[in-house]
Amino acid sequence: MSTITPDDKITIAFSVTDRAATAKWYETHLGFQQLFAADEAGWTELSTNTPGVTIGLGDSEEIKTANTMPVFGVADFDASRAALEEQGVKFDGDTIEVEGMVKVAAFFDPDGNALMIAQDLSNA
């Protein structure tokens, strides 16, 4: 049986209604940087803080969110959530903490795509 051999790059693709506005949202709230925008292809790509991982934004008239949720690690969960909330980012409920393991919370980009922040508590 043949298998593929993925390289060390991952692009997480989201459908969005306004690439420019959504790219700005990711820049403002998560500190990601736009790598390029290909208007003729309806595609914008942003770097993340994780080497080899990018966010791709594709034009779509109708948004169909999936059940994939990228989880971004943070060093200080409480400060990160507070900063996002101060900027008007919508969270999906309360913080979930598994004592001695992890603290997580889901939030949404402008098109309702789900994202999550998490702090590893296992070494605390």
pLDDT digits (tens, 9 = 90+) for 71-113: 999 999 999 999 999 999 999 999 999 888 899 999 999 999 9
**What are the backbone angles phi and psi of residue 84, rounded to the nearest 5°?**
-65, -45
Q: Which residues of the chain form CATH 3.10.180.10?
A: 69-124
**What are the backbone angles phi and psi of residue 29, rounded to the nearest 5°?**
-90, -30
Structure token digits, residue 96: 């979930």
Candidates 3.40.50.2300, 3.30.720.120, 3.40.50.300, 3.40.50.20; correct CATH number of 1-61? 3.30.720.120
- 114-120 and 71-73 beta bridge pairing: parallel
Q: Model's pTM, two decimal places? A: 0.78
Distances (CA, A) of 52 to 12, 23, 47, 67, 113: 11, 18, 8, 22, 21
Distance of CA 111 to the CA centre of its chain: 12
Does the pLDDT value for residue 7 go beyond 80?
A: no
What percentage of the chain exceeds 90 in pLDDT? 71
Domain 69-124 superfamily per CATH: 2,3-Dihydroxybiphenyl 1,2-Dioxygenase, domain 1 (3.10.180.10)
